[in-house]
Amino acid sequence: MTTAPSTPASDCTGREDCNEPSEDVAAVAEGADLGLGCGNPKAFAEMSEGETVLDLGSGAGFDCFLAARAVGDTGRVIGVDMTPEMVSRARENVAKNDASNVEFRLGEISNLPVADATVDVIVSNCVINLAPEKRRVFDESYRVLEPGGRLAISDVVQTAPFPEDVRLDPDSLTGCVAGASTVDTLETMLDEAGFEDIRIEPKAESTEFISEWDADRDLSEYLVSATIEARKPATV
């Protein structure tokens, strides 16, 4: 397992001010991009024609619709979200984006409504840090991936211990802050779930936008955005 050094990112790093590549934004109908991510999984997921993609915490569907373009008509995209309102909104956006190869399911990412070994690629954008049972999320991800399938996730990771007022703040817990894990913890959970080729790459430049997340403190002292990649062994 390796933790790659920080390098200039080609992916989008930001949350409310997250700037996706202009061609990606233009490709998706208005209403699907909520601007709530901390990266652009499509930039490093290397999706191919005909693959099945699963988005954990799909929201209004933005990343799903980008994935649908990448996998083409012979591919398939599944979005899972625990919020009925988001699933309903995403389903409305299917018609707006003429995305017949995309479907949205109501469910928790720690108990995925997806069959075993049916997914080629799992993406997620600043969602897993919100899950109270992260190891369970990785176990479920491993279960639904085909042998040789892969994770390609954007999320925030913890770089220093949180002060108690941050750790116990409900707004921090729901705002991609206090639920973040360290790189070492994520590597351990992924390894114990069975993944190999684990690569977690912090993005040093993300401190610029993270520093703007809280008016009272500089959260970039404790957090950084990262790409998280791993693979299910081809033979299991």
54-67 pLDDT tens trace: 999 999 999 999 99
The reported pLDDT for the residue numbered 178 is: 66
Residues of the chain with pLDDT under 70: 1-40, 167-178
Residue in 200, 187, 192, 77 with CA at minimum distance from that of residue 142? 192
Q: Are 187 and 198 in contact (CB under 8 A)?
A: yes
The reported pLDDT for the residue numbered 21 is: 44
How many other β-carbons are positioned within 10 Å of the β-carbon of residue 170? 8
**What CATH number matches the domain at 31-231, 3.30.1240.10, 1.10.10.10, 3.40.50.150, 3.40.50.300?**
3.40.50.150
The reported pLDDT for the residue numbered 149 is: 98
Reported as a single tens digit per residue, the pLDDT across 99-145 is 999 999 999 999 999 999 999 999 999 899 989 999 999 999 999 99
